[in-house]
Structure 1
């Protein structure tokens, strides 16, 4: 397979060399107007309504009209096709939450900064939430203060940009200001009330819980600023900084369980005095410091240099499940009233880029080198290692991991006058080389070892730090890989009415081989007011180093015998014995057809799509049955009790339609109104699940990818999302009102009896602004004004009381958020 595309690769490389050698090169001009699009096209003057594929442009002002300063959250309310679920009790995913586009996986969307590939988070999401098994870009590492605009290409673009661009591309364009600046202070808190469905207390117990609960929490202060500085006569240095201090939110239920042993047959009096809201279900505590610098300058003539750099330090604290006083995982001399273990990751993110554009004859050349690194280290607090007993520590260093990426690009763009065409043929050719690295390091020994304590029941106590056992030396790894790609991209108006574009790209990865992607797109303008557009393409997503290299181990005792339960790498001998194979790229075919309509002053776009993905990479179920354990022993692996691993083999078909309508209205003395109505309607079918011959031969045969994960892909995100918004401005006053309807979502259970449907909900956001001077303005508002929650889970689905709401809720489970924001421009 690896040699299949070598001739094609040679043809591409030869074509690029011939084009560069045969003709001199010239720089492409840049249009600074807000409507010019650079994502999905390499033609200099395309606008949002003139492209062959749908592109949304989100301005910095639009991002401000929400109480949240998180970029992912701001985008999710601006774009119906983008969803940002906020799960909790999911370890590191509480701190680094991924977004999804068009109902696809978080790692199937490509994120760019200034049209250059952004590095992903080092975290691979492992727990039961949207995006399980993926390692995605953390957009919240980019402060909103540095953002000029964000372009979202709602179409596959692997042939143009390479791996990951299956469902679309998010391109963050940075500020390029030479002068001016702005400082912003935002403060807000959740002021909310939610319903409870309490289980019955144990027989004979006298405690009862409330039916509802009021909370004021999640107080968040964000201080941000940006400043533009001149660099020479034409250059710029734009600096942005942000500090965020966020308290946690807590939406637990009332714990009806018996927490203490009975005394002489009677309930312990402490049962009536202990705080039974003993969980921490909600957003994490967080302190975050970010600095971002963007630089550019004209050196001489057509030679320009540019670059940027960013640094973020994020300290977070989230919780696991409450350990009751009598829990065998507790040491009562340390925690007589039980304990709530805290996961406290520290995330450090860095990026730097340098590039240059210049003209050579009729060509415009752009070369750049971009480096990014993301690391995550876990401290586990307010916990213990029960196997060590009363001598156990209560805080542990559990280890962590890091990911880095170095990308070199060289692109050339020029126009050719071709006879018979209505416009010059725009040709872009280029190459990209990428090196990626992944490292996992172990925690301190007490975070993972077994200290040998035997419980009164005669069973050994659990190993490692409760809630998050540390990574072991055997888990440590240091992996890297390289990828090289070449592409050709052409675009032209065949006639005055017909626009056509084509792209082809080949990539070679040293760990799994080659991939060839192509795209054909077109647009036909029947009139100035009506056009049809469409595209067909194939794409791919390379297996991430995180999926290939992540591993962790914990010890479970079965009848007093210790067994190692491991998340195996796909090439681990145990995983291979269970049928694992080296990961290969996911493959996709994308089809889209849309219409663009202008009925002045209304503009309307409707775009339908189908995305077929083959061999999606997923994380298998935990394979822990007796049959699995016996099979592993029969293969010569002693003491291994099972585990899970990443595997190709899920095929999906996603179909949907995006609709966007907008209308500006100048009402004279009543002010200016901007109306937007947008919707995404989406459905996914899982058409194939993975199997292995080794596991299929067992009796009973374990399921590699069960109904919960299948239904999560099919129904775990809203089947539709509709947003209606209006911005009003009159003199110093401004108001933004927005209503977002999230369609029905299924919170799947292990059997149909435990499935729980989350009904459609409409969330209303409202913000009012007043400019006291040209420089100073104040805004007050409320996100989720009417304090909406999804349905409260019944006791049968919330047996611990820790989780009264489903993690599949698409708009979070924190309720109303009230905020104020002050802006000062200078």
Structure 2
């Protein structure tokens, strides 16, 4: 454990002792302005339980907090309100530029379970296979749910597999939808990036050869880009006298940002040994490296209706279509990958995913004797199709098209739930709350091939006679041999018991068993305790084992590219684990990840001031990871000897990484009302987090080779251990006075390591503080204006040094926890119905 984590745990151990003084302090603080605590439904199945009365930590983010930001994304809002939630914004990562991963408590994106109205949300079809945070994971895309439909978000910062099933190792995010039967709001937000940053620069080559500079100068670049228009509305309507329907819609139009920097390479072939005159006029800010272009349309409907018998019927439906455009690396005119007759000045290949996401649910709740019953059927589908633009298939020569359909994939999930809750008086200080339920789930995943030109090799060779790579550049299409159509089923059952053993001692026990058709059974249990020493101070703890089932995407994702080695074609593949070549390298059917979670915390109420401190430790065994590319000569010779001729190696998913994560979350809030100056709401959060990789995978087949390849190298180990902030602090003040209001927020991200395959090029990103400011004014009872800026001081991560940015076109690391797009200035107008 590093010193930061050790200090964090010592802090967690000492703070409860300090908070034991709460009773005395509370006497002097007064209780005249005691706040009404918000009732939650996540982490407990007891009715009317508040966030501060639970045995586990739960954050509640209101719909208003989601709106008081310029960048109106659910993940972005959670990243500045939940202490251990992070939302990096990688670029140059294919589909991950469009569906970006988020992390909770330093774990993988797919180790956090996402619910909507308490029901499991479907995952994205995308699996992250490039070098970014979340590599090898498949997660839920929170940005498929518009802010306008969200009443609040509850974030359970504690493992909960025994309560909710697979994926809840890090915690649970539950989005609660609006149920209003009247009222509504329509809003327009317009903003753009107004920013200045330093880039490496150099003069276009005019002197002796060499496009790179050992110590190039820096220059400040001013730019205005990333214009974003978001139009949204929601309206609540009655259904008879006992029901409601809320209809929400959102449209977002976002232009891309360019933070790639100054391309210092020689762009054109030499002419008679001299530089081409076009070098002096070429636009060297030729890359897209930032936010993608988006054209996104979303509709979401949520409804409920109480029938005469007292039963209720509820349901929701959603649809989103997201057209995105991002880019790869610029191919210079003189690049072997370019066909100069098509692109005389080189080209920037564009990747344009079209993402369609739909969901629907119908359910009913009713009374059965002493039981409150609930049953629901939910369906979700996410599909992603790739179009490649402004590119070419070099092996087709001048006959190559410039636009390609590269195929895509889809994932869907159908879930049936039946549950019941009741209380029984068993002689304890409170009735025993009993919750039982069963769940059946069916999932499918499929890949469909692209058009032939997107993947084939046309046979046109380079000028030197060597063959060239197959397929569309930036994203070669899926081939017919990559196509899959797989499914699985899972059935689970749980029991959840909660009661006050004494007036001060709360105990909760949960047990859940699940059976999967593809990997077998799992049993998870959880014990949570809370002891209220006095009304103003309590301690809480939990211990549990959890699991995450391997996703269908991890088991069956497949893609292939052809490289030429010594003039011969070799297929380099991402193999599914059931592929014979992968099995020959040691791949086995994937099993569930298993975890042990421990937490210890304290809750203090000092008048209106509330403080929570929660320390956690999460031990995970057999994490599922994507192996390195296994393409060494030893691997190729081994495969060839087994009869796999033309297979140049590849990679596959494998269990076998063990990690230990330790950390502390601190949350403090204080409301202060004054007669003259209005109301102030103060919130301060902090997170300290450390992960250690304690085991990496091996296979007997690869270990027996003369030079055994490494399945999970130091680059990926360091991504786990130091690729997310070692600490994060946030402070927010929200002020209201009559029709006026303002929000001031500061978020400090601790140091992050940007690892490099070459250990000498590892680069540490310094701690950075971002400040957001928004001012609001209600012009009339119905019209409200807001103006503000996210990252108002225009902070950037440390620019990569020259040795990490040889071309000048990748100025910043993808490991920055807040991206690299600079200041976002915006205005918003809302009309309330």
- Above 0.5 in TM-score? yes
- Pick closer, same or farther for the CA change 1:86–1:622 going to 2, 3 Å: same
Residues 323-354 of structure 1 show CA distances to partners (whole Å, capped at 9, x for unaligned) of 11111111000000000000000000000000
Q: How does 1:63-142 map to 2 (within 5 A)?
A: 63-142=66-145
Is residue 551–residue 567 contact of structure 1 (8 Å, CA) maintained in 2?
yes
Q: Equivalent of 1:655, from 647, 650, 662?
A: 662
Residues 268-297 of structure 1 show CA distances to partners (whole Å, capped at 9, x for unaligned) of 100001111111111100000000000100
User: How many angstroms does 1:212 deviate by?
Assistant: 1.6
User: How many angstroms does 1:773 deviate by?
Assistant: 1.0
Distance 2:806 2:714 in 1: 21
User: How many angstroms does 1:198 deviate by?
Assistant: 3.6
Distance 2:554 2:814 in 1: 23
Q: Equivalent of 1:336, from 337, 340, 344?
A: 344
Q: What residue is the counterpart of 2:330 in the other structure?
A: 322
Q: What residue is the counterpart of 2:648 in the other structure?
A: 641
User: How many angstroms does 1:201 deviate by?
Assistant: 6.4
Which segment drifts farther, 76-85 or 513-522?
A: 76-85
1:48 aligns with 2:51: yes
Q: What residue is the counterpart of 1:204 in the other structure?
A: 208
Distance 1:205 1:276 in 2: 18
Residues 468-491 of structure 1 show CA distances to partners (whole Å, capped at 9, x for unaligned) of 100000000000000000000000
User: How many angstroms does 1:197 deviate by?
Assistant: 2.5
Q: TM-score, normalised by structure 2?
A: 0.94
1:402 aligns with 2:410: yes
Distance 2:269 2:494 in 1: 69
1:517 aligns with 2:524: yes
Q: What residue is the counterpart of 1:24 in the other structure?
A: none
**Equivalent residues, number:** 793
1:726 aligns with 2:733: yes
Q: What residue is the counterpart of 2:381 in the other structure?
A: 373
User: How many angstroms does 1:315 deviate by?
Assistant: 0.1
Q: What residue is the counterpart of 1:244 in the other structure?
A: 252
- Pick closer, same or farther for the CA change 1:730–1:589 going to 2, 3 Å: same
Distance 1:711 1:199 in 2: 32
Distance 1:281 1:454 in 2: 31
Distance 1:300 1:581 in 2: 55
Is residue 83–residue 666 contact of structure 2 (8 Å, CA) maintained in 1?
no
Distance 2:711 2:564 in 1: 23
Q: What residue is the counterpart of 1:550 in the other structure?
A: 557
Q: Equivalent of 2:592, from 569, 574, 585?
A: 585
Q: What residue is the counterpart of 2:299 in the other structure?
A: 291
Q: What residue is the counterpart of 2:580 in the other structure?
A: 573
Distance 1:301 1:611 in 2: 46
1:159 aligns with 2:167: no
User: How many angstroms does 1:728 deviate by?
Assistant: 0.7
Residues 371-414 of structure 1 show CA distances to partners (whole Å, capped at 9, x for unaligned) of 00000000000000000000110000000000000000000000
Residues 511-541 of structure 1 show CA distances to partners (whole Å, capped at 9, x for unaligned) of 0000000000010000000000000000000
Q: Equivalent of 2:796, from 761, 770, 789?
A: 789
Residues 544-578 of structure 1 show CA distances to partners (whole Å, capped at 9, x for unaligned) of 00001100000000111100000000111000100
User: How many angstroms does 1:775 deviate by?
Assistant: 0.8
Residues 11-56 of structure 1 show CA distances to partners (whole Å, capped at 9, x for unaligned) of xxxxxxxxxxxxxxxxxxxxxx870010010000100100000000
Q: What residue is the counterpart of 1:711 in the other structure?
A: 718
Q: What residue is the counterpart of 2:32 in the other structure?
A: none
Distance 1:751 1:97 in 2: 26
Q: What residue is the counterpart of 2:20 in the other structure?
A: none
Q: How does 1:358-437 map to 2 (within 5 A)?
A: 358-419=366-427, 421-437=428-444
Q: What residue is the counterpart of 2:539 in the other structure?
A: 532
User: How many angstroms does 1:142 deviate by?
Assistant: 0.2
Is residue 83–residue 686 contact of structure 2 (8 Å, CA) maintained in 1?
yes
Distance 1:699 1:650 in 2: 24
Q: Give the secondary-structure state (helix, strand or coil) at the position aligned to 1:675.
A: strand
Q: What residue is the counterpart of 2:286 in the other structure?
A: 278
Q: What residue is the counterpart of 1:769 in the other structure?
A: 776
Q: What residue is the counterpart of 2:816 in the other structure?
A: 809
Q: What residue is the counterpart of 1:176 in the other structure?
A: 179
Q: Equivalent of 1:194, from 184, 193, 197?
A: 197
Q: What residue is the counterpart of 2:749 in the other structure?
A: 742
Which segment drifts farther, 193-202 or 792-801?
A: 193-202
Q: What residue is the counterpart of 1:438 in the other structure?
A: 445
Distance 2:741 2:108 in 1: 37
Q: What residue is the counterpart of 2:508 in the other structure?
A: 501
Is residue 193–residue 787 contact of structure 1 (8 Å, CA) maintained in 2?
yes
Distance 2:98 2:757 in 1: 27
Is residue 562–residue 639 contact of structure 1 (8 Å, CA) maintained in 2?
yes
Q: Give the secondary-structure state (helix, strand or coil) at the position aligned to 1:571.
A: coil
Distance 2:674 2:713 in 1: 56
Q: Give the secondary-structure state (helix, strand or coil) at the position aligned to 2:612.
A: strand
Q: Give the secondary-structure state (helix, strand or coil) at the position aligned to 1:806.
A: coil
Distance 2:622 2:547 in 1: 10
Distance 1:551 1:478 in 2: 12
Q: Give the secondary-structure state (helix, strand or coil) at the position aligned to 1:637.
A: coil
Is residue 112–residue 170 contact of structure 2 (8 Å, CA) maintained in 1?
yes
The unaligned stretches of length 5 or more in structure 2 are 1-35
User: How many angstroms does 1:255 deviate by?
Assistant: 1.0
Q: What residue is the counterpart of 1:21 in the other structure?
A: none
Q: Give the secondary-structure state (helix, strand or coil) at the position aligned to 1:613.
A: strand
Is residue 37–residue 51 contact of structure 2 (8 Å, CA) maintained in 1?
no
Q: How does 1:423-502 map to 2 (within 5 A)?
A: 423-502=430-509
Q: What residue is the counterpart of 2:33 in the other structure?
A: none
User: How many angstroms does 1:777 deviate by?
Assistant: 0.5
Distance 2:352 2:218 in 1: 31
- Pick closer, same or farther for the CA change 1:504–1:65 going to 2, 3 Å: same
Distance 2:328 2:437 in 1: 48
Q: CA RMSD in A?
A: 1.1
Distance 1:252 1:512 in 2: 44
Is residue 697–residue 712 contact of structure 2 (8 Å, CA) maintained in 1?
yes
Residues 394-443 of structure 1 show CA distances to partners (whole Å, capped at 9, x for unaligned) of 00000000000000000000000102x00000000010000000010000
User: How many angstroms does 1:699 deviate by?
Assistant: 2.0
Q: Give the secondary-structure state (helix, strand or coil) at the position aligned to 2:615.
A: strand
User: How many angstroms does 1:628 deviate by?
Assistant: 0.8
Q: What residue is the counterpart of 2:628 in the other structure?
A: 621
User: How many angstroms does 1:795 deviate by?
Assistant: 1.8
Distance 2:504 2:281 in 1: 77
- Pick closer, same or farther for the CA change 1:206–1:686 going to 2, 3 Å: closer
Is residue 209–residue 254 contact of structure 1 (8 Å, CA) maintained in 2?
no
Q: Give the secondary-structure state (helix, strand or coil) at the position aligned to 1:219.
A: strand
Q: What residue is the counterpart of 1:308 in the other structure?
A: 316
Residues 61-115 of structure 1 show CA distances to partners (whole Å, capped at 9, x for unaligned) of 1111110111111111111210000000000000000110000000000000000
Q: Give the secondary-structure state (helix, strand or coil) at the position aligned to 2:40.
A: coil
User: How many angstroms does 1:200 deviate by?
Assistant: 8.0
Is residue 468–residue 563 contact of structure 2 (8 Å, CA) maintained in 1?
no
Is residue 210–residue 266 contact of structure 2 (8 Å, CA) maintained in 1?
no
Which segment drifts farther, 217-226 or 746-755?
A: 746-755
